[in-house]
Amino acid sequence: MPRLSVTSPEGTVQAASRSTGFSRPYRCHCNDALRAGTLVNGLQAFDVEPIPVHLVHAARGQPPLKMRVFLAFAAT
What's the domain count of the chain? 1
The whole domain housing 18 covers 1-46
d(CA 47, CA 13): 18
pLDDT bin (cut points 50, 70, 90) of residue 1 is low
Q: Does 72 reside within a domain?
A: no
Question: Considering the domain boundaries, does residue 32 fall inside one?
Answer: yes
Confidence check: pLDDT of 11 > 80:
yes
Task: Mark out the alpha helices in 1-76 (DSSP H runs).
Answer: 9-17, 27-36, 65-75
DSSP state, residue 56: -
Q: Please check whether residue 59 lies inside any domain of the structure.
A: no
Let me know if residue 75 belongs to a domain: no
Residues 12-67: tens digit of each pLDDT = 999 999 988 888 888 889 999 999 999 999 888 988 888 888 888 887 888 889 98
Does 68 fall in a domain? no
* pTM as predicted: 0.61
* Residue 13 DSSP symbol: H
